[in-house]
Amino acid sequence: PPPSPSSPPPPPKPTASNDPHLRLPHGAHADFRGEHNQTFVVLSAKDVAFNIRTEAADFRWNKRLVHGTKMAAAFWVIRTSTGKLLNIEYNDSFKAGGFVYEQGHKNVFVRDGEPPVVVDNVAVSVVGHTMTVVVQDKWELAATIAPFPFGNLLNKNKNLLNININPLYNADADVVAPHGIIGQAYDGDNIGINGKSDSERGPETTTKAQAEGAIEGEWRDYKVASKFSTDFKYSRFNARFAPHRDVSKLTGDRVQLAAAGAKVSKSAGASDFAPEDLLSLVVD
């Protein structure tokens, strides 16, 4: 008999990058501008918080100028298996490492290439320009320092962060359903929900999209008062039970990925430039 057709490849892991473009769980996407010098929650789960700070940034290439934002810093708050509270920080201006803070202990600078800093079930490491925080059997969370895309003299020596979220368990089935701008998309099904994206392609534009249609409430609901805060409208950090978001209230286009036994990516994240930006280099 002829071989059975292979399943389509899974969509990319959830990420956030560059301006920032979100790759959401289950294959969805959105853009999120945020606000200058403000901190937002991308993932809130039991005992885990992953926050990012956005800053205004101008991106220049070819004959285009985009007034957008970048992710400038990443912050994690982790409660370990014995109840210790870790605050972890990585910044696009840091050189060769990042910080782990624990009350009652000296601050630890985690250096590139050195063994991970391990506290109970949490390991923090830096390899190259990437800091990775692993919560054993739960989450692998990373932030990478990257140069501005399409490097030219006007973008020279400018950096930003890209992030990646990879669950090490079935986050869709957690009794404490994750939340946050990205985390809420682990909502118990294999259907992605796209959010608003910036599509204007003029010579000078300003980004506006705030992932509308793909997130509960509105974008300001995900702002926190300080970099290590876990407190916001949909916080899961101290929860013992939390339901999935109500997808019936979301207006974004659905992305159906459950057919034909296809594998569905559980990872997510954000980066600054999407594939269509590469195309714009050709057509501008």
Contacts 24+ apart (CB under 8 A), 93-96: 93/159, 94/145, 96/126
* pLDDT recorded at residue 17: 57
User: Whose structure tokens read 């990925």?
Assistant: 257
Domain presence at residue 72: yes
* pLDDT recorded at residue 265: 57
CB 48 within 8 A of CB 180: no
Average pLDDT, the chain: 88
Q: pTM of the predicted model, to two decimals?
A: 0.88
Distance (Å, rounded) from C-alpha 97 to C-alpha 202? 38
CA nearest neighbour of 138 among 117, 169, 162, 172: 169
Mean pLDDT of 209-232: 98
Q: Per the structure block, which two tokens stand in for 212?
A: 């509308």
* pLDDT recorded at residue 96: 83
Domain presence at residue 73: yes
CA nearest neighbour of 22 among 32, 35, 37, 12: 32
User: Whose structure tokens read 């790759």?
Assistant: 23
Mean pLDDT of 212-220: 98
How large a percentage of the chain has pLDDT more than 90?
A: 72
Mean pLDDT of 75-85: 99
SS3 assignment for 91-125: ECCCCCEEEEEECCCCCEEEEECCCCEEECCEEEE
| Number of domains comprising the chain | 1
CA distance to 9, 128, 135, 182, 224, per residue, from 214 (Å): 23, 33, 26, 9, 19
Domain with 228 in it: 15-283
Which residues share a beta bridge with 43?
Answer: 50
Q: Could you report how far apart the first and last alpha carbons of the chain are, in Å?
A: 50
CA nearest neighbour of 183 among 139, 227, 137, 228: 139
Domain presence at residue 65: yes
Q: Per the structure block, which two tokens stand in for 82?
A: 């014995």
Domain presence at residue 134: yes
Residue 1 has pLDDT above 90, yes or no: no
Q: Per the structure block, which two tokens stand in for 178?
A: 């994750």
Cα-to-chain-centroid distance, residue 22:
7
Phi-psi region of 168 (alpha: psi -120 to 50; beta: other; left: phi over 0): alpha
Domain presence at residue 6: no
Distance (Å, rounded) from C-alpha 99 to C-alpha 87? 8
Mean pLDDT of 101-117: 95
Mean pLDDT of 43-53: 99
Domain presence at residue 2: no
Domain presence at residue 10: no
Residue 144 has pLDDT above 80, yes or no: yes
Residue 281 has pLDDT above 50, yes or no: no
Domain presence at residue 8: no
Q: How many CB atoms lie within 10 A of CB 231?
A: 13
